[in-house]
Chains A and B, each alone.
Chain A
Amino acid sequence: MSEPIIKFEKVVKSYGNYRVLNDLDFEVARGEKVTIIGPSGSGKSTVLRILMTLEKINGGVVSVGNEPLWHEKGPNGLIPAREAHLRKMRKQLGMVFQQFNLFPHMTVLRNLTEAPMSVLGLSKQDARERAEELLQLVGLSDQAQKFPNQLSGGQQQRVGIARALAMRPKVMLFDEPTSALDPELVGEVLNVIAKLAEEHDLTMLLVTHEMRFAREVSDRVCFFDQGNIKEQGTPDELFTNPREERTRAFLKAVLEG
């Protein structure tokens, strides 16, 4: 395994008295595709949201590319990160949301060009070219001028993926990307994610309930329970031969449900 691009060290996250993440240690190598599974409330999405700087941490250190995410170097060790540091770090990450969160008042094309233009300073022409390439990648070249509410859920989520990719992130975070979709639309989104996993050296971190898909695309599967990794391994190890009783119970419930 090459050097980790993402590293959680003794990370604690709590809401009041409830500990969502409990001294979590977790690493992801550059280019690795990791799937996180587990019951709701186990902290899976929180891992992604912390990385995307949508949630603060209460303890420990999170590093992205060997640099602390939620801290910066002060004269006497690490101090809490300021917005400028977060903005710099955030550029390395892209996120796909369960509810898509497309900008409803912008066309598909504008959704894809907004951030590259205003954040990365791309010219309108360059941003447009980049957007058109990505729309082709997700199979939506003919939908550029539509508004999100004129698209199906599956199409919207593919736009969501393209929008995140337009920032050229090193790490892509997928937060239950198909959970809000009608069952017949799940496949088209998973196909796009699988294509990304195969053809790009992106690091991918995916929270999902699609077990078969997790098995196909991931290098490693982590089973989260009560704010920590209960068990992890290659998809084959974890799905065919789980060591922990808790993992077995979860997989049984999910696969038979």
Chain B
Amino acid sequence: MLFGITWDTSNGDLAFALSILPILLRGMLVTIQATIAGFAIAMVLGLVFAVLKSVPLKIVSWPAIVITEFFRDTPLLVQLFFLYYVLADYNIILPAFATGALALGVQYSAYMAEVYRAGIEAVARGQREAARALDLSASRTFTHIILPQAVPRVVPALGNYLVSIMKDVPVLSVVTVLEMLGVARIIGDQTFNYLVPLSMVGGLYLIMTLVASALVRFVDAKLPKRGLPFK
């Protein structure tokens, strides 16, 4: 029994599968929530890092470069343990889910910073020159000229990371987040039937990633290629 739902182990695999489906769907909901939370953090933090890295002042850009390099070159699991166990020693105690979402967000922000940066650099130089000739401020140029043109270009690459984050969520089970794979393993441990729940996890993952990819393609198709419009 898990989440108050009991499973049926005596009427064959199909009945067993049907009985654990609601439990796995609970786990799937957590997986989706962690994906969305991690992706949202990574999108915002990634943009912040991309901006900091492009600041001409080395005192600003260097720390950003070092930090993102550290995030990219250390395993997600190390970052996760660090946030969960080490911070607790300093009385910073985060709930397991928040820790997991933060670890995902932080790790992927380092990747996404590079994507943003490529998108920002791909905006034609003439756009910056026109903005400068019109005397627009640096921040206005970034928010109203560069970014709206960069965003449509980076959506496909950012979308790939959405799928990657989704596939990394099972790592969070080591800090007791009850996402889908963790749930399936508990079911397996208790029923000695691993084949059915793990196969179902594989299938459900496939559906999730296909839906996520379709969503990204949909958003990509909807965004005007010339840039986000300004009223």
Contact = CB atoms under 8 A, between A and B. Distances in A.
Same complex: yes
Interface stretch (A74-82, A101-109, A183-191): A101-109
A167 B130 CA distance: 13
Contacts of B137: 87, 118-119
Contact of B129 (A54, A87, A114): A54
A119 B135 contact: yes
B188 interface: no
B135 A106 contact: no
A105 B124 CA distance: 13
Interface in B117-135: 124, 126-127, 129-130, 132-135
B226 A90 contact: no
Interface string A139-154: 0000000011100000
A158 interface: no
Given A99-B126, A118-B140, A118-B144, A106 B230 contact: yes
Given A99-B126, A105-B149, A54 B132 contact: yes
B184 to A, nearest CB: 46
Interface string B130-166: 1011111100100011001100000000000000000
A166 B149 CA distance: 23
Given A105-B149, A147-B226, A97 B136 contact: no
A149 B226 contact: yes
Nearest to A148: B226
A163 B149 contact: no
B132 to A, nearest CB: 6
Contacts of B129: 52, 54, 97, 101
B148 to A, nearest CB: 5
A167 B135 contact: yes
B224 A105 contact: yes
B228 A105 contact: yes
A149 B225 CA distance: 11
Contacts of A107: 229
Nearest to A150: B226
Considering the complex of A and B, which 9 residue pairs feature the smallest CB-CB distances, nearest first?
A105-B227, A115-B134, A101-B130, A101-B126, A104-B226, A95-B133, A90-B135, A119-B135, A105-B148
Given A53-B132, A97-B129, A99-B126, 7 more contacts: A52-B133, A54-B132, A101-B126, A114-B136, A119-B135, A147-B226, A163-B134
Interface of B: 124, 126-127, 129-130, 132-137, 140, 144-145, 148-149, 224, 226-231
20 contacts: A52-B129, A54-B132, A87-B135, A90-B133, A101-B129, A103-B127, A103-B145, A103-B227, A105-B226, A105-B229, A105-B230, A107-B229, A110-B230, A115-B136, A118-B140, A119-B134, A119-B136, A147-B226, A148-B226, A164-B134
